[in-house]
Structure 1
Amino acid sequence: MLNISMMISYLIVGHSFFSWWNNHYLPVVLVLNLIWLLTANITGLYEYVITKDSIKTFRGVIQSYLLFLSFTGFTVVILIGTNSYSVSREYLICSLLLFGFLLCFWKLVFLTIRKSERSSLIDNRTFVIVGGGRIGEELYAYFEGNPELGYKIMGFFDDEPTNVTQAHLYSGSVDDCIRFVIANDVNEIFCTLPAAQSQQVEQLMIAADRNLIRFKYVPEYYDFTKRATYVETFGHIPVISTRPEPLENMLNRFLKRAFDILFSLFIIVFILSWLFPILAILIKRGSKGPIFFVQIRSGRNNKPFKCYKFRSMKLNADSNNKQAVKGDSRVTPLGAFLRRSSLDELPQFFNVLMGNMSVVGPRPHMISHTKQYSQLIDKFMVRHFLKPGITGYAQVQGLRGETKTTEAMLRRVEADVWYLENWSFLLDLKIIFLTVWNAVRGEENAY
C-alpha cells in the first residue's frame, strides 16, 4: 500500500511512469519503506493479526500511521531535506495522505476476509491439561470461550479423578499423560500441578522434551492474582512480575525525559516569558503575599520536593492540609480564573526542567494526604513509582480537583496505576491534547 501510494502520487504530480526507476525519488522511497518497517515494529502492528480484535487492530493502524508521519517529517524534511533529491512537497503530502487512505481500506478488506476465513487461517492445536482443580478448570474455560485461538482440548490428567469436574474429559493419571499424547498426536501439554509435585512436573517436562511435545507450566502464583503478569529471567531463574512498567526501560525513560525538557523549555520561553510579568502584577494587586505558592509534595519514590504554583488563595493556615472546595472563601477572584484555566500550574514547568516532575504523570499530593491515603488504599503508593506530572491520565478522565471520599481517591489511584502499566509516548501526547482541550472548554471540577 505504501509503495502503490507513492507510485500513484508520482503520476498525479505530473511525472511519467517510465521515469520512476531512473530518477532521484528512489532513495526517498527506500527511506519511507524503512521508516514504515521501524514504525510497525515499534507499535506491534503485525503481532497477533489473526486473534487481535478489530478495535485494537484499527487503534494500532492509527497509532502506526501517526508515528509514521512523525518519523517521516523528521527524517525527510530535517535529515534528508526536500532539496537533496528535489522531492516536491506536493508529492510527499499526496503520498502520505493516499497511504493513510489505502492502509485503512486494506485493513477493512483484511478484517472482512479474516471474519469468514479465520478458521482456515488459525494454526489449530490440540492440547491436554495435567492437573484438575480450579486452575485447570479456568484454563479449560478460557480456551472454550476463545475458539479463535485454535486450541482443542483432548483430555485432563490427574491422580485424583474427583479434581476434574469435566468427567467426560478425564483421561487418566499423571503417569498416563505421555502415552496418551504420543498415541493421539497431541501438540501441547499445559501443566497446572502445584509446586509440591515438582518431581512429577520435572519428569513430565523431560518426557515431553524427549518426545517433541511442547510443555507449558501454569505457576501456582496464578492463585494469588487475577491480573496480567509477565516473566523475566535472571540467568535460569524465572521471576514473575506483578505489573509491566514500560518506563523501567531506559530508552523509554530517555524519550520521556527528552520530551519533558523540550516541552518545558518551549512553554517557559514562549509563554511564561511574557505571561509571568502580567500574572505577577495581577496576583500582587489582588491580595497580599508572594507570587508563588510553594508546597512540599510527594515525588517519585515518595521523596518530598518543592512544588511551585501561582498563588491563587489568600494567605491562610490551612493551605498544607486542606484541599480547595467549591466556593472556597480562600480563593481570590483572580485565583478562581487561574484554577479554572489551569494557569496556576504553569510554574511547575520549572519543576519539570529541574527533573522532579514530568509533563505527564500522577498528580503530586500533599504530604499529609499521602500519609492518610496510603493507610486506606492498598495501591496508593504504587503511583509513586513514577515522577508526578503537571497533568495525568486521571485528570483527563475527569478525576481532578477535590476528593470528597476515599472511593473518589481510589478511582484516581486506579487511573494512575493504569497509566504506569500502559505508558506510551503517544498516550502522553493524547493526555496533553485533552488537557489543553479541557482547559479551553472548562471543567466542572476545576475550582
Structure 2
Amino acid sequence: MFRNTARCIDAICVIAGALIAHEIRFSAPFELGGTERILIAFNCVLMLLLFPAFGVYDTWRGKSLPMMLARVATAWIVVAATGPVLVFTLHRMDAVSRLWFGYSTLISGMLIVTSKLAIHLLVRTARRRGLNHKTVAIVGAPGFSRTLLAHMEHASHAGYKPVCVFDTTAETTSPFSPRLGSLPVLTDIDTFAAKVRTEHINEVWLALSLSEEHTIYQFTRAFRHDFVNLRLIPDVRSLALFNSSFTDVLGLPTLNLTATPTSPLQMWPKLIFDRLFAMTALTLLAPLFAVLGIAIKLTSPGPVFFTQERKGIDGRTFRIYKFRSMKLHREAAGHLTQAKRGDSRVTKLGAFMRRTSLDELPQFFNVLLGHMSVVGPRPHALEHDDFYKDLVYGYMYRYRIKPGITGWAQVNGYRGATTKVEKMEARVKFDLFYIHNWSFWFDIRIVFITIFKGILGPNAY
C-alpha cells in the first residue's frame, strides 16, 4: 500500500515539474505539445520501472538518509537522461524546448527528493512518538546486547523497539534470569521461541560471534517455520581492532576489519572545505608569512622553512612544511630528540612561534597540495612512528585518513612533546574517537575550538 502511494506521489511530482517548467518557459502551464506529453508519460513509466531497481521503494528504516536521497537523485538522473534518447529516436528533437526540458528535469527531481525527505521526516517523528515500530528480540551475550540496546535508544527514529533478550552465556536452567535494564532476559530457547510467537515479535537479532555456528544454527532451526525476520549482527569485537563495516567485493558481503573508514563520496565535503580554507588562509596570512620569514632570517642563520618526511593517508610519505624554530643542528641517523622545556636548540622567536602555533601555518601548503587536511590526527616524525607503533594499541590506524593541522586530540590539550607512552596512548584514543565519529560538522566544531581556544599551547615548547 505504502509503495503504491509512493509511486503515485513520484508520478505526480514528474507531471507537476513539467507543468511548472512550462509555466516558467512559456507562461502557459497546460498548453503542452504532443511530444512533450509523450516525454512526460515516458518518464513516468520508466521511473516506475527503474526506481525499484535502484531500491528507492525499499524500506528506509535504519538506513543512512543522505545515501538513500543520493540513490533517489541518481535514479531520477538515469530516467531523465533516457528521455532525450526516445525523442531522438522519434526524430522529434526540434519539437522539444531544451530549456523546458532542463527546467522540467531539475524541478521534478527536486520535487521527488523533497517529497521523500518530507515523508521520511514525518515517519521519523511518528516513530519517536511510539508509532510505526518493529519489535525486536536480541540473542547474545549481555555485553554486546547492551551495545545494541544503546544503538536502538540513540536511533529511536529508526523505529525498532526491543522486547526481550536471550542470554547465551547464562548457565542456569531457569527459563528467566535477571533483567537487562527494563527488559526480561530469557535463558531457555523454547520459552524464548514461544514468547516471540505469542507476542508476534517482528525481528530476532542474533548478536553472536562468527565462531558460534552451533548457536546460530539452533535459532535458525527453531524459527524455520516462522515468518519472523532473523538477522545476524556479528560480534566482531574479538576480531577487529576498530569499528568494522560491511562492503561488497565481487558480489560477496565482506567485513572490513581495518579498511579505510569512510568512502570517497563521504569525504567530498571535507576535500572541498580543505582546499577553500587553505587558499583563504594562505591569502589572508601572506603578510604574516612575509614578516615571520624576514624575522627568522634576521634572528638565526639558515632556511626560513623546516621540512621533514611524515606519513600521510595509508602510510604514503610526504614532506611537511613548518617555519624553522630551531638553530641548525645535526642528529644521528634514525634518532630524533623531541624539544623540551628550555631546549637550547629553540630560538627565542622559535619559542614564541611554537607556543602560538605560528610555526604550523606553512602546513596550509600541504593541505592545498592534498597531503594533509585542516582537521585530522597530527602526523608524527617517522622515528616516532617506528617507536610507538608496537607500544600503543591502534597507533598506525590513525593514518587511515589524512593527517591534519589540528585535531580532536590537540583541542583537548594533547599538544607538544610526548615524553611518556601514556601521553601518546591518550592522544591516540582521541584520534581514534575522531575517526570513528567523523562528520563534516565535527570538523567545523574542531576548527572553531582551535580558533577560539586552542591556538595557544602550554605544552608546546
TM > 0.5 between the two? yes
8 A contact 1:159–1:172 mirrored in 2: no
Relative distance call for 1:316 and 1:239 in structure 2 (3 A) is: same
Equivalent-residue separation in structure 2 for 1:394 and 1:196 (angstroms): 36
Equivalent-residue separation in structure 2 for 1:165 and 1:227 (angstroms): 34
Matched, 1:286 2:292: no
Correspondences of 1:139-218 after superposition (within 5 Å):
139=145, 150-153=161-164, 162=173, 166=177, 181-182=196-197, 185-191=200-206, 198=213, 201=216, 204-205=219-220, 208=223, 210-218=225-233
Q: Partner residue of 2:135?
A: 125
Relative distance call for 1:445 and 1:180 in structure 2 (3 A) is: closer
Once the two structures are superposed, what CA deviation does each residue of 1:325-349 show, in whole Å capped at 9, x if it has no partner? 1121111111111111111111111
C-alpha displacement at 1:305, in angstroms? 1.4
Q: Partner residue of 1:323?
A: 338
Length-normalised TM-score, structure 2: 0.59
Matched, 1:254 2:259: no
Structure with more helix by fraction: 1
Matched, 1:389 2:389: no
Q: Partner residue of 1:72?
A: none
Equivalent position amino acid for 1:413 in 2: V
8 A contact 1:340–1:439 mirrored in 2: no
Length-normalised TM-score, structure 1: 0.61
Relative distance call for 1:328 and 1:245 in structure 2 (3 A) is: same
Mean Cα deviation higher: 401-410 or 419-428: 419-428
Equivalent position amino acid for 1:267 in 2: A
Equivalent-residue separation in structure 1 for 2:169 and 2:189 (angstroms): 5
Q: Partner residue of 1:344?
A: 359
Matched residue SS, 2:273: helix
8 A contact 1:300–1:385 mirrored in 2: yes
Identity of aligned residues (%): 35
C-alpha displacement at 1:220, in angstroms? 5.5
Q: Where does the alignment leave 5 or more consecutive residues of structure 1 unmatched?
A: 1-45, 49-112
8 A contact 2:260–2:400 mirrored in 1: no
C-alpha displacement at 1:286, in angstroms? 0.5
Equivalent-residue separation in structure 2 for 1:215 and 1:207 (angstroms): 11
Relative distance call for 1:214 and 1:338 in structure 2 (3 A) is: same
Aligned-residue RMSD, C-alpha: 4.1
8 A contact 1:158–1:164 mirrored in 2: no
Matched, 1:376 2:391: yes
Mean Cα deviation higher: 207-216 or 408-417: 207-216
Q: Partner residue of 2:88?
A: none
8 A contact 1:245–1:421 mirrored in 2: no
Equivalent position amino acid for 2:357 in 1: S
Relative distance call for 1:146 and 1:385 in structure 2 (3 A) is: closer
Equivalent-residue separation in structure 2 for 1:145 and 1:263 (angstroms): 35
Equivalent-residue separation in structure 2 for 1:429 and 1:331 (angstroms): 32
Matched, 1:268 2:282: yes
Equivalent-residue separation in structure 2 for 1:185 and 1:138 (angstroms): 24
Matched, 1:437 2:443: no
8 A contact 2:175–2:187 mirrored in 1: no
Q: Partner residue of 1:421?
A: 436
Equivalent-residue separation in structure 2 for 1:303 and 1:428 (angstroms): 23
Relative distance call for 1:244 and 1:120 in structure 2 (3 A) is: farther
Matched residue SS, 2:390: helix
8 A contact 1:310–1:347 mirrored in 2: yes
C-alpha displacement at 1:184, in angstroms? 5.6
Relative distance call for 1:315 and 1:218 in structure 2 (3 A) is: same
Once the two structures are superposed, what CA deviation does each residue of 1:202-241 show, in whole Å capped at 9, x if it has no partner? 5854774653212133435355569754444557743334
8 A contact 1:264–1:350 mirrored in 2: yes
Matched residue SS, 2:453: helix
8 A contact 1:245–1:420 mirrored in 2: no
Q: Partner residue of 2:427?
A: 412
Relative distance call for 1:191 and 1:266 in structure 2 (3 A) is: closer
C-alpha displacement at 1:402, in angstroms? 0.8
Matched residue SS, 1:427: helix
Count residues in correspondence.
329
Once the two structures are superposed, what CA deviation does each residue of 1:167-204 show, in whole Å capped at 9, x if it has no partner? 99767556x87566445644443446776774774585
Equivalent-residue separation in structure 1 for 2:168 and 2:372 (angstroms): 54
Correspondences of 1:289-328 after superposition (within 5 Å):
289-318=302-331, 321-328=336-343
C-alpha displacement at 1:377, in angstroms? 1.2
Relative distance call for 1:431 and 1:151 in structure 2 (3 A) is: closer
Relative distance call for 1:406 and 1:193 in structure 2 (3 A) is: closer
Equivalent-residue separation in structure 2 for 1:257 and 1:164 (angstroms): 55
Equivalent-residue separation in structure 2 for 1:194 and 1:207 (angstroms): 19
8 A contact 1:160–1:173 mirrored in 2: no
Relative distance call for 1:333 and 1:164 in structure 2 (3 A) is: farther
Once the two structures are superposed, what CA deviation does each residue of 1:363-399 show, in whole Å capped at 9, x if it has no partner? 1111100100012112110001111111111111100
Equivalent-residue separation in structure 2 for 1:307 and 1:140 (angstroms): 44
Equivalent-residue separation in structure 1 for 2:336 and 2:423 (angstroms): 18
Equivalent-residue separation in structure 1 for 2:424 and 2:169 (angstroms): 46
8 A contact 1:157–1:172 mirrored in 2: no
Equivalent-residue separation in structure 2 for 1:210 and 1:235 (angstroms): 32
Equivalent position amino acid for 1:331 in 2: V
Equivalent-residue separation in structure 2 for 1:291 and 1:435 (angstroms): 25
Once the two structures are superposed, what CA deviation does each residue of 1:346-371 show, in whole Å capped at 9, x if it has no partner? 11111111111111111111110010
